[in-house]
Amino acid sequence: MSTSTLAPPAGQPATKLPSTIGRPGAARFGPPLVVAATVLFNYWFLRAETLLVAYLNDSSVHAQMVRFATRRLQEGHLPQTSWFPYLGLGSPQFLHYQSLPATVTGLVGTAVGPSRAFTWSLFLLVSLWPIPVYLGARAFRLSLWTAATAALLSAFVTSAVGIGFESNAYLWTGFGVWAQLWAMLTLPLAWAYGWRAISEGRRYFPAVLFVALTVICHFETGYLALVPLALFPFLAPSQLRARLARAAVVAVGSLLAAAWAIVPLLVYAKWASVNEVLRGTPLENGYGAKQVLAWLFTGGLLDAGRLPLITVLAGVGLVTCLRRWRHDESSRALVVLLAMSLVLSFGRTTFGSLVRLLPGSSDIFMRRFMEGVQLAALLLAGIGAVTLARLVGGLVRRRWPRLDPAARPAARWQPSAVAGLVLVVVAALAPAWVPVLAHDDHNTRAITWQRQADSTEGRRIAPLLDRVLQAGDGRVYAGAPTNWGTDFRVGAVPVFKYLESQDVDEVGYTLRTASLMTDPEYFFDPDDPGDYAVFGVRYLLLPTGMQPPVAATRLMTRGPYALWEIPSVGYVAVDRVVGSLTADRSDIGVRSVPYLRSSLPWRDEALVVNYAGARSPVRPSPASGGAPVGRVTTSRVDLAAGRAAADVTLRRRAVVVLAASFDPGWQVTVDGRPATPVMVAPAVVGVSVAPGHHRVVFRYVGFGGYPVLLALGVLTLLVVWRLDRRRSRRAA
């Protein structure tokens, strides 16, 4: 049998391949065609994702962020410095959350429309996922066929939790973790070029670029890009000192390039809540070593609900890499990446307080690190598939020599032979693609059905939402995930989620942001009149046959939807301070519960918050005998623009409260003079005002250092690019 030799990386022995694989035609055109076919498979069966529809999952929030970004950019403002008003009583969402994907897509939305930009971004990024897998594998110096096989298998990953590097994490019937999707496409290249820069002392620019992009696009995936930089130097202990220096260049360069997202996050960290409701659950702590390893070895991470085809191939690849450990550094790198991702995914459930060694660990959902296991396993599966193909090919040629293409060169590329090979591959992969195809078909039918509901039921609810939007004087409550709200729907979408597709300010769609009010919102009691005042809920959107749990006036009814109003409630209120509570970002929710459950809110009596060790400057007022301390005469609120103004008349000193989450970006003036904003329980913004007639203006002013930090990031990339150019010229 004739063979050909592929040139190996330095220090790696040459690999003998069958003649047909080593031929220029097969090597040049075969692997790219496999990748292209996989992309087209995704493109065809996921095309329903381009349709405009109300979302059932977290895509409802991401699509809303894109619409918000488009509006702010059209108005000449950065979304990062703007107040995002729709969830959790508002927050600087584009500062606390990974906002580059929404900003870029919002910019595209200024040309094609934000909704269209979002749907196509989701569709294209999921469809194109095999390409970065292929490019990352090639950058790891894996063979063309290994890279192409890994790319092919990437389209068919499914896991028990469904939130990793798999299509179900993003589609309409999945979880909608759209920001992670962007980082999914950059992580393979961040790993590969990070390793190349550290092992070879060049390729710094792509390493810094892709690591920084991964960090900016999705913070938790960013950990998977940064941690390997501390591990790769140890793959060659004899060069440790030089490699540590190279790793430092990549790490520092990446952090500087991403500084515009990281620095504001750190500066405002104490004003971002910790998710108290999910604290201690596997969603935050991870599932632990026992469960993760069980999923890994039984197929739960790569082949959930089907024959463990990818899992077996990854196992073969792992054995192959371990056999190559001594002479092949890329094999060592892949094994280390798998081990690293596994250890991180075990999380607090296994390591407890040791996790605190990770910066920002209190804000990390450890289960997300299983996505790193999936990516490393995919690359190993590509190696395993090629290893098995060579073994099987060798056995076949020894058993049936006439089947060796080298014996019949003229017939090597006959169409019948190529078609037969394709059919064999397709049949062999059937356990992987058949379930995925069934899921994609279910996803398409679900989207089609929801679009019909949007055009029928959506038309009925539209006048009610228009009434709320035109008034702009309070929030809406339409149920919550913990009560009847889950069964009150437009099509399959609960109304409290449907409101996001219409940009309606609401209470009830809980735990979506890092605002300080996101945890107190979870404890909102729809049967307590005081809670409506605290949260600025003026409207109730209820099923037609349901009576409101508090005194309210029916405004209109359309089909199964009824809109009710509480006229006494609005965004701005006047309260007397009768005490204080002490809290920080880790317990503001549970600390607020006694106040919310008391009679104080509906008596217009408030508590100020001594927050994070700082004492509030406002002191309790003396007893007033129950007489009102004042009233709001007029108000004009535009939280989407970060502004609110009210004219108030006060009998005695009181706090004028805006039902918006407290943040240090809020500035307040009273009669045109600056005043000090204070936090009022649970965690809203207020200001202490003396008796008399006053005009109080709230204005949100975001973090002002973005231009400098963006310039720093661009300068860092230019310096690293110049460094690469110099090293390339020296090498030449």
Residues 696 and 602 both lie in one domain:
yes
- For every residue of 260-307, DSSP letters joined together read HHHHHHHHTGGGS---SSSTTSHHHH--HHHHHHHHHHHTTTTBTTS-
Q: Which CA distances in Å does 687 have to 67, 674, 694?
A: 31, 10, 12
Asked if 576 and 583 count as a contact pair (C-beta separation under 8 A), the reply is: no
Residue 685, Cβ neighbours under 10 Å: how many? 28
Judged on CB neighbours under 10 Å (0-12, 13-18, 19+), 54 is buried
Please identify, among 507, 539, 565, the residue that sits at the C-terminal boundary of a domain: 565
Let me know if residue 84 belongs to a domain.
no
Give the span between the Cα atoms of 188 and 210, in whole angstroms.
9
Strands, E, within 457-543: which ranges?
Answer: 475-477, 489-490, 493-494, 506-507, 537-543
Let me know if residue 334 belongs to a domain.
no
What CATH number is attached to the domain comprising 659?
2.60.40
At 667, the pLDDT band (50, 70, 90 cuts) reads very high
Per-residue model confidence (pLDDT) at position 7: 41
Per-residue model confidence (pLDDT) at position 725: 87
- 648 CB-near residues (< 8 Å, 6+ apart): 572, 574, 630, 631, 632, 633, 656, 689, 693, 694, 695, 696
Per-residue model confidence (pLDDT) at position 417: 60
Per-residue model confidence (pLDDT) at position 426: 85
Q: What is the mean pLDDT of the segment spanning 336-352?
A: 96
Tell me the pLDDT tens digit for each residue of 255-301: 999 999 999 999 999 999 999 999 999 999 999 999 999 999 999 99
Residues 577 and 696 both lie in one domain:
yes
- Give the length of the chain: 732
Let me know if residue 462 belongs to a domain.
yes
Q: What is the mean pLDDT of the segment spanning 351-365?
A: 87
Residues 552 and 462 both lie in one domain:
yes
Let me know if residue 620 belongs to a domain.
yes
Q: Which residue has the tokens 């963006």?
A: 710
In this structure, what token pair is assigned to residue 371?
């996505």
User: Checking phi first, is residue 508 left (phi over 0); if not, alpha (psi -120 to 50) or beta?
Assistant: left
In this structure, what token pair is assigned to residue 555?
């405004």
Per-residue model confidence (pLDDT) at position 415: 64
- What is the average pLDDT value for the chain, to the nearest integer? 92
Residues 576 and 696 both lie in one domain:
yes
Per-residue model confidence (pLDDT) at position 20: 41
Per-residue model confidence (pLDDT) at position 359: 83
Task: Please list, residue by residue across 12-26, b when 16 or more beta carbons sit within 10 angstroms of its beta carbon and e when fewer do.
Answer: eeeeebbbbbbbeeb
Per-residue model confidence (pLDDT) at position 397: 76
At 5, the pLDDT band (50, 70, 90 cuts) reads very low
Nearest to 569 by CA among 546, 595, 605, 535: 535
Residues 535 and 518 both lie in one domain:
yes
Please identify, among 565, 588, 617, the residue that sits at the C-terminal boundary of a domain: 565
Residues 481 and 526 both lie in one domain:
yes
Residues 457 and 484 both lie in one domain:
yes
Which residues span the domain enclosing 614?
572-700
Give the span between the Cα atoms of 409 and 414, in whole angstroms.
10
Residues 561 and 576 both lie in one domain:
no
Please identify, among 530, 565, 600, the residue that sits at the C-terminal boundary of a domain: 565
Per-residue model confidence (pLDDT) at position 14: 40
Asked if 316 and 384 count as a contact pair (C-beta separation under 8 A), the reply is: yes
User: Residue 17 above 50 pLDDT?
Assistant: no
Q: What does the DSSP 8-state code read for residue 368?
A: G
Residues 482 and 587 both lie in one domain:
no
Let me know if residue 587 belongs to a domain.
yes
User: Residue 685 above 80 pLDDT?
Assistant: yes
At 408, the pLDDT band (50, 70, 90 cuts) reads low
Tell me the pLDDT tens digit for each residue of 190-216: 999 999 999 999 899 999 999 999 999
Strand partners, 158: 303
Using a pLDDT cut of 90, give the percent of the chain over it: 86
User: Residue 486 above 90 pLDDT?
Assistant: yes
Give the span between the Cα atoms of 166 and 381, in whole angstroms.
15
Let me know if residue 171 belongs to a domain.
no
Helices (H), 46-78: 59-74
Per-residue model confidence (pLDDT) at position 10: 43
User: Residue 89 above 60 pLDDT?
Assistant: yes
pTM for the whole structure: 0.93
Nearest to 310 by CA among 321, 302, 319, 301: 302
607 — phi, psi (to 5°)? Answer: -115, 140
Using a pLDDT cut of 70, give the percent of the chain over it: 93
Residues 582 and 557 both lie in one domain:
no
Let me know if residue 17 belongs to a domain.
no
Residues 598 and 638 both lie in one domain:
yes
Tell me the pLDDT tens digit for each residue of 516-569: 999 999 999 999 999 999 999 999 999 999 999 999 999 999 999 999 999 999
- For every residue of 675-686, DSSP letters joined together read E-EEEETTTEEE
Q: What is the mean pLDDT of the segment spanning 434-452?
A: 96
Let me know if residue 480 belongs to a domain.
yes
Give the span between the Cα atoms of 72 and 664, in whole angstroms.
21
Residues 466 and 542 both lie in one domain:
yes
**Number of domains forming the structure of the chain:** 2
